[in-house]
Chains A and B, each alone.
Chain A
Amino acid sequence: MRYTFLLYTDPADLAHMTPEDWGAEKEVYGAYIGALNAAGVFVDTDWLQPVSTATTLTLKGGTRQVQDGPFADTKETLGGYFVVDVPDLDAAMAWAEKCPAAKTGKVEIRPTAMGEG
């Protein structure tokens, strides 16, 4: 069964990053991806640009409205995601616990509606 981990982190933590900082971040996440791959549960991941780059659009109410910014203005923002293929929620939680974002932010675990991979 597929689960998506939505990684919510404080963007203040990631402000003013040097290329070395990015390298160090990628190394830690790379180790996590490596473990997911070794266990055969990795499907996909990506890292989102900061919410300052977000554009939110709706046609609800009949007119096209475009908002400069994220849908919800919160202290912790959606910074990236992982998709894993594991048997059930207990297994998904075991992996979410190991996600670097869980230690400094929050990881929301959502089963994917399309189900089987």
Chain B
Amino acid sequence: MTDAARAADRVARDSYGRLLAFLAARTGDIGLAEDALADAFAKALETWPRDGVPANPDGWLMTVARNRMTDRQRHVARFHSNDEVPDMAAPEDMQTLPDKRLALLMVCAHPAIARDLHTPLMLQTVLGIEARDIARLFMVSPVALTKRLVRAKAKVRDAGIPFAVPDADGLPDRAEAIFEAVYAAHTVDWVAPSDSVGEEALYLADLLVRLLPDMPEALGLAALIAFGHARRHARVRGGVLVPTDAQDVTLWDCDVRAYAGRMLARAFALGAPGRFQIEAAIQQVHMARAETGETDWAALNQLYHALLQSAPSVGAAVAQTVVTGKLHGPSAGLEALDGISAELGADVQSIWAARAEFLAQLRAWDDAAHAYGRAIDLATDVPLIRFLEARKAEVLDRI
């Protein structure tokens, strides 16, 4: 996507999300608001080509959608006799329309909604992506996902989940759920790594920064996602995964990377480190190679140490042993790896991959080939499998 296309896309999405959030917040009924907005867009497609685009397209859409909602509510009034038709002033422009998207995100990531629906709900309501397309991104049955989303929206309405932003005490926990859901959108890239998933995740992260400009972790998350997105063209070449420290830096997206750097600087200035900021800082150190020509493994060692303190994970633990190997040699790396595999049980894909790499560096070709084989057996990401197969073939050549 070009910058101009991305900008146009963002404007269209901004207005969809704002309109939907506003309509849904007034009635508590996301499905009703979606239907009304879809009707308004259909009406626009019908009348705008004939009569010309109105001076205030968003205001026009809002007015039509609002009228549709009123019609529909009157229609079902006998089932919901307590629902008053809400009084909504037609806004002059979007600037005067209260931005209810944070409240909508709070609903999508509400603890009473199944965790695995948080991200799909956000993509559907805030970005207007169809359930079927979301299902394709998540590799889940489109029909089943569509039904689950309909049920979740009915629950929001019937259980009275509020379109409200919690106060300062409640905000961090609820925001954390939103961050997790946006992060999940970013990490969905199995089978068909598509640019569009990255674009959606980046859009949501950037929106969060605009809605929560003083939350360091919102900024950290935007930086983390943007650093990853900046490498999208370098990550897989010819169907084969390319590790970050071997990527062609000329394929990295300078604009997205610069954005990430700005977000991380703003986060650090707030002086409250957190998991996403540390992960983003790790990415930043890796990508500094574009200027310095080398990777600062000592800095990475400190950052992984900090990450393991605040958010321990198998991935981070294995990554730190790789850093140890770079700093102190493959034997030290192998020793560190033995430490974590004793704790976790040895049959973890990333542990076998790291072990294979160390064994190859130690020229223990037979053991390395066996470890690569095991890493391949346990891998399900095809570009990663291709990468490991190529490494295994190199090792077999040495035997």
Interface, chain A (partner B; CB < 8 A): 9-10, 12-14, 17, 21, 24-25, 27-28, 31-32, 34-35, 38-39, 86-88, 90-91, 94-95, 97-98, 100-101, 103-105
Contact = CB atoms under 8 A, between A and B. Distances in A.
B380 A14 contact: no
B148 to A, nearest CB: 7
6 contacts: A24-B135, A25-B143, A27-B136, A38-B382, A88-B377, A104-B141
B132 interface: yes
B351 to A, nearest CB: 12
Contacts of A25: 141-143
Query: Which of B135, B142, B349 is the most central at the interface, judged by chain A CB atoms within 10 Å of its CB?
Result: B142
- Which residue, B144, B191, B378, B382, has most C-beta atoms of chain A within 10 A? B144
B385 to A, nearest CB: 6
A93 to B, nearest CB: 9
Given A39-B385, A90-B347, A28 B140 contact: yes
Contacts of A88: 377
B139 A100 contact: yes
A98 B140 CA distance: 9
B142 A24 contact: yes
A32 B191 contact: yes
B158 interface: no
9 A-B pairs with least C-beta separation: A104-B144, A24-B142, A13-B144, A103-B140, A38-B382, A91-B377, A87-B377, A24-B132, A90-B347
B147 interface: yes
A24 B136 contact: yes
Nearest to A12: B147
A14 B147 CA distance: 9
A13 B147 CA distance: 7
B139 A31 contact: yes
Q: How large is the interface on B (under 10, 10 to 19, 20 to 34, 35 or more residues)?
A: 20 to 34
A105 B347 CA distance: 26
A90 to B, nearest CB: 5
B87 interface: no
A38 B142 CA distance: 23
B241 interface: no
A10 B143 CA distance: 11
A28 B378 contact: no
Given A94-B379, A100-B139, 10 more contacts: A14-B143, A28-B136, A32-B139, A35-B380, A91-B377, A98-B191, A98-B380, A103-B138, A104-B145, A104-B148
Contact of B139 (A9, A28, A38, A87): A28
Interface of B: 116, 132, 135-136, 138-145, 147-148, 190-192, 347, 349, 377-380, 382, 385
A86 B330 CA distance: 30
A78 B342 CA distance: 38
A9 B144 contact: yes
A9 B143 CA distance: 12
Nearest to A39: B385
A24 B143 contact: yes
Most buried by A among B116, B143, B190, B191: B143
B143 A98 contact: no
A24 to B, nearest CB: 4
A80 to B, nearest CB: 11
A21 B377 contact: no
B143 A21 contact: yes
Contacts of A32: 139, 191
A31 B378 contact: no
Contacts of A14: 141, 143-144
B139 A17 contact: no
A98 B382 contact: no
